[in-house]
Amino acid sequence: GAVVSQHPSWVICKSGTSVKIECRSLDFQATTMFWYRQFPKQSLMLMATSNEGSKATYEQGVEKDKFLINHASLTLSTLTVTSAHPEDSSFYICSARRAAWDSNQPQHFGDGTRLSIL
Amino acid sequence: DQQVKQNSPSLSVQEGRISILNCDYTNSMFDYFLWYKKYPAEGPTFLISISSIKDKNEDGRFTVFLNKSAKHLSLHIVPSQPGDSAVYFCAATPTAGGTSYGKLTFGQGTILTVHP
């Protein structure tokens, strides 16, 4: 079964709204979680690395104030898209990494969130 | 700068035949490679991986080959089945310490279609 739960799976909202996406590791503690973004027919692009108890590390070109990440516990990381606009519409996927290196599954992925901004 | 490349956007194969998906990388720090299968509106599903100390890893119908000197890896699916139709992503990561440890860099994906 799924070991990473992502919620919600689909969000449609008006421009200017802030949207929060949750990523939970279900049966293990995840010291590190990752947030990806995928545009249609394109690859998964890493947005940021979320470390429990510390500030997230953002990839080049990703606006920190736009995409707020909070990793308050070992099983939960949240991504908040602030003041969302139509260009933020995308498929957002989180993944969680166990504390110890797992050679078979370095990251466990959630099922993604489809965000549509009208 | 695309550090992991899948140059074939799509591949069409007859059921029962072999599917070969290719992937090239440029970053010498990458020493662990993975293949994921993905359906639309779902997260990637892990298929198989290989460490740079090996040149082949096999799991059932799936075999991954790694050519370090050419910085090339491939995924072989034999025999191919219609249920294998999906987008396949290769990914790479360094396993040494540092800020990039465990970060996955994905290729652009290859759409595999297996015809009955």
| Cis bond before residue B79 (omega within 30° of 0) | yes
Q: What pLDDT sits at residue B100?
A: 65
* Nearest CB partner across the interface for B43, out of A42, A93, A101: A93
Is the pLDDT score of A97 beyond 80? yes
Mutate to test the interface with B, among A11, A44, A47, A55 (most CBs of B within 10 A): A44
Phi/psi region, residue B52 (left: phi>0; alpha: psi -120 to 50; beta: rest), is alpha
Residues A104, B105: C-beta atoms closer than 8 Å: no
* Nearest CB partner across the interface for B42, out of A32, A97, A112: A112
Reported as a single tens digit per residue, the pLDDT across A42-76 is: 889 999 998 888 889 999 999 999 999 998 888 99
Q: Which amino acid is at A61?
A: G
Is the pLDDT score of B61 beyond 70? yes
Using a CB-CB distance cutoff of 8 angstroms, which residues of chain B are in contact with residue A97?
102
List Cβ neighbours of A41 (8 Å cut-off, separation of 6 or more).
none
What average pLDDT is seen over chain B?
Answer: 93
Q: What pLDDT sits at residue B20?
A: 98
Angstrom distance (rounded) from CA B113 to CA B40: 14
Average pLDDT over residues A107-117: 93
Average pLDDT over residues B9-14: 97
CA-CA-CA-CA dihedral for A9, B39, A39, A23, to nearest 10: 40
Residues A44, B102: C-beta atoms closer than 8 Å: no
Provide the chain B residues 26-45 that lie in CB contact (below 8 A) with chain A: 32, 34, 36, 41-45
The pair of three-digit structure tokens given for residue A81, joined into one six-digit string = 């898209």
Angstrom distance (rounded) from CA A68 to CA A53: 14
CA-CA-CA-CA dihedral for B65, B68, B72, B74, to nearest 10: 10
Share of chain A above pLDDT 70, in %: 92
